[in-house]
Amino acid sequence: MNKLPFEEIQREILVKKESSTNESYGKRPEERTIKELLDYGVICLNKLDGPSSHQVADYVKKILKLEKVGHGGTLVIY
């Protein structure tokens, strides 16, 4: 299987502090359903020049058949 360059790098996970979570307040991210991820998640998207942020949010809304979608703005660096 082909990997992207960042996937080729061996990384070490550093744990500063172990803690426990009360399972009645949620679940581990990997145990969430696709619906839960879409309802409460964030999509990081690199918007190209051309469509506005509003238009891209509308594309995502239509593609994923979501009721509500918003955006956090656009950062432009010259």
Look at the pTM and tell me if it is higher than 0.75. no
75 backbone dihedrals φ, ψ, rounded to 5° = -105, 120
Confidence at 74, pLDDT banded by 50, 70, 90: low
Tell how many helices (H) and how many strands (E) occur in the chain: 3, 0
CA 33, 34, 40, 44 dihedral sign is: positive
What single DSSP character describes residue 30?
G
Q: How far apart, in whole angstroms, are the C-alpha atoms of residue 6 and residue 25?
A: 34
pLDDT, tens digit (0-9, with 9 covering 90-100), for 2-41: 888 888 888 898 989 888 777 788 888 788 898 888 788 8
Radius of gyration of the chain (CA): 18
